[in-house]
A = this chain, B = another copy of it.
Amino acid sequence: MAEPWTTTGATVWFTGLSGAGKTTISEILARNLREHDVRVEILDGDVVRENLSKGLGFSKEDRDINIRRIGFVCDLLSRNGVIAIAAAISPYREVRDEVRSNTTNFLEVYARCPIDVLSDRDVKGLYKKALAGEIKNFTGVSDPYEEPLNSELVVDTDRGTPEEYADRIVDALEEKGYLSRRPAPAAARHDEVPA
């Protein structure tokens, strides 16, 4: 175990198109934080739809309900000292801002990547299907994506590595006062005990 970091708890709220790297960055971020004894949970779109939102579809109304539920759970976690990472597409600005205003220590990260890069890359073959009209309500193709105007952090995921973006999120958490990479006070006290 590396030197422990301390956290107040926070919500790292990704937004961005399918394939933009939200889940990949989340997993690297979570691993880095856990190495420093920070409690972390990832709430990705699939896990949440299975456990909290089965039966909801992809209309704006259903997407908004789904996002509010993720926000509710993130707040429960972040106000209890956990770093909750939400890795859903989260396409609508208004509900993102609603969640921001209801959630403890909220940090929005926009995983930005041009749609032509995503559809060229097309790791899961979803863009091809969406462009052929085989998937309805596909964000960025047949469903809206509203870019954030005031994200705490924007990462251009066609230009660097997920490891770099994960590090930038740790920096942003520290700048906001939600995380400290200095040793915890208890550890410091321990060091001071004479041998």
* Interchain CA distance A57-B27 in the complex, whole Å: 36
User: Could you tell me the distance between the alpha carbons of A73 and B80 in the complex, rounded to whole angstroms?
Assistant: 13
Contact of B76 with A52 in the complex, beta carbons under 8 Å: no
A168 at the interface (CB under 8 A from B): no
Number of copies: 2
The reply to whether B192 and A41 form a contact with Cβ atoms under 8 Å apart is no
Of B39, B54, B72, B80, which contacts A65 at CB under 8 A?
B54
Residues of A with Cβ closer than 8 Å to B?
39, 41, 51-52, 54, 65, 68-69, 72-73, 76-77, 80-82, 186, 189-190, 192-194
- Grouping DSSP codes into helix (H, G, I), strand (E, B) and loop, the A interface class, with mixed when no group exceeds half, is helix
Task: For A190, list chain B residues within 8 Å (CB).
Answer: 189
Q: Which residues of B contact A54 (CB under 8 A)?
A: 65
Cα–Cα, bound, A190→B69 (Å)? 41
A73-B76, A193-B189 given; A68·B51 CB < 8 A: yes
Q: Can you identify 13 A-B contacts, CB atoms within 8 angstroms? A: A39-B81, A41-B80, A51-B69, A73-B76, A76-B77, A77-B77, A77-B80, A80-B81, A80-B82, A186-B189, A189-B189, A192-B193, A194-B194
Which residue of B39, B52, B186, B193 is within 8 Å of A52 (Cβ)?
A: B52
B80 close to A39 (CB less than 8 A): yes
CA distance A128 to B131 in the complex (A): 58
State how many angstroms separate the Cβ of A29 from the closest Cβ of chain B.
Answer: 16
Q: Complex Cα distance A194/B82, Å? A: 34
User: Which residues of the other chain, B, contact A72 by a CB distance below 8 angstroms?
Assistant: 51-52
* A185 and chain B: residue at smallest CB distance: B186
CB neighbours of A193 from chain B (8 A) = 189, 192-193
- Bound CA–CA A68/B76 (angstroms): 17
